[in-house]
Amino acid sequence: MRNIKLVLQFDGTAYHGWQMQKNAPTVQETVSGAIERITGSVPQLTGVSRTDAGVHAKSFVCNFKTNASIPSERIPAALNTYLPPDIVCLFAEDAEDSFNARFSAKKKCYTYYILNSKQPDAFLRNYSWHFPYELDISKMKKAAKAFLGKHDFVGFAASGFTVKTTVREIYSLDIEKEGNLVKITVTGDGFLYNMVRIIAGTLAFVGCGKIEPESMAEIIASKDRKRAGVTAEPQGLFLTEVFY
């Protein structure tokens, strides 16, 4: 049986995340339906991660097994014929038998956008978190350094998760300002449930003076969710790259 790897892009605004759910439209369900149209059978579709409602992906990887004979280079255009315009298949290839979009992932990169302006923006409403209090970027950059490396991030996870370990390694955490958009880019070996959004919310609290950058290392070490900042809104989050 062939093992097809797909790279998708999706605007998550209209979906209740990736993962199949009863009574709510999800990206997984929509993509499965399009795959069924081109292969003739319902796929077992494995995604790199669950995503929350409203979260976006510039590059989301998934895989499925099939006996269909369609050449992989023709799959993107074929799928895009059946996909709604807010989900696009960018790339497809025949992967090795052992490839699993979720378990083979070595590294992921997420980007979080904060709109730091007094008034909201009609075009960014679904793609950023509107934060009206002035953010001090240099303080945020200082605090960001404390996240680098291997830490137990249990204080930066929403409850309700089931994972073997809450230790994760963060390779980079960069903050840039472009106009009134603050762009937070984070790369790591994996992320706990809501972890990137809690990091973004905590960095916003640092930027507006509610948390001192010097106390960041201690807050991480405390493993206490209450000491971190708020969970930033979902629509500012983009999965931007997955490394295998």
Give the residue among 225, 122, 232 at the shortest CA–CA distance from 184.
Answer: 232
Determine the Cα–Cα distance for residues 243 and 135; give it in Å rounded to an integer: 31
Stretch near its own copies under the rule CB under 8 A, chosen from 5-13, 36-44, 186-194, 211-219: 5-13
Among 87, 109, 182, 239, binds its own copies (CB under 8 A): 87
Min separation Cβ 67 and its own copies, Å: 26
Nearer to its own copies, 134 or 224 (CB): 134
Nearer to its own copies, 48 or 195 (CB): 48
Any catalytic annotation for residue 152? no
**Apex CA 104: angle with CA 103 and CA 110, to 5°?**
85
Q: Which two tokens stand for residue 205?
A: 């609290």
Determine the Cα–Cα distance for residues 62 and 6; give it in Å rounded to an integer: 5
In DSSP notation, 157-168 reads S-SS---S--EE
Nearer to its own copies, 24 or 77 (CB): 77
Among 4, 89, 154, 186, binds its own copies (CB under 8 A): 89
Determine the Cα–Cα distance for residues 60 and 50; give it in Å rounded to an integer: 10
Q: Mark residues 116-155: x for contact with its own copies by CB under 8 A, - for none.
A: --xxxxxx-x-x----------------------------
Interface positions, 53-72, toward its own copies (CB under 8 A): 56
Per CB under 8 A, does 25 bind its own copies? no
Per CB under 8 A, does 163 bind its own copies? no
Whole-angstrom CA distances from 108 to 67, 150, 168, 191, 238 are 30, 15, 12, 8, 11
**Apex CA 14: angle with CA 13 and CA 17, to 5°?**
80
Min separation Cβ 186 and its own copies, Å: 20
Torsion angle of the four alpha carbons 85, 8, 18, 83, in this order, in degrees rounded to the nearest 10: 30
* Candidates 11, 52, 97, 136; catalytic one: 52
Contacting positions for its own copies (CB under 8 A): 9-11, 56, 76-77, 80, 85-90, 118-123, 125, 127
Residues taking part in catalysis: 52
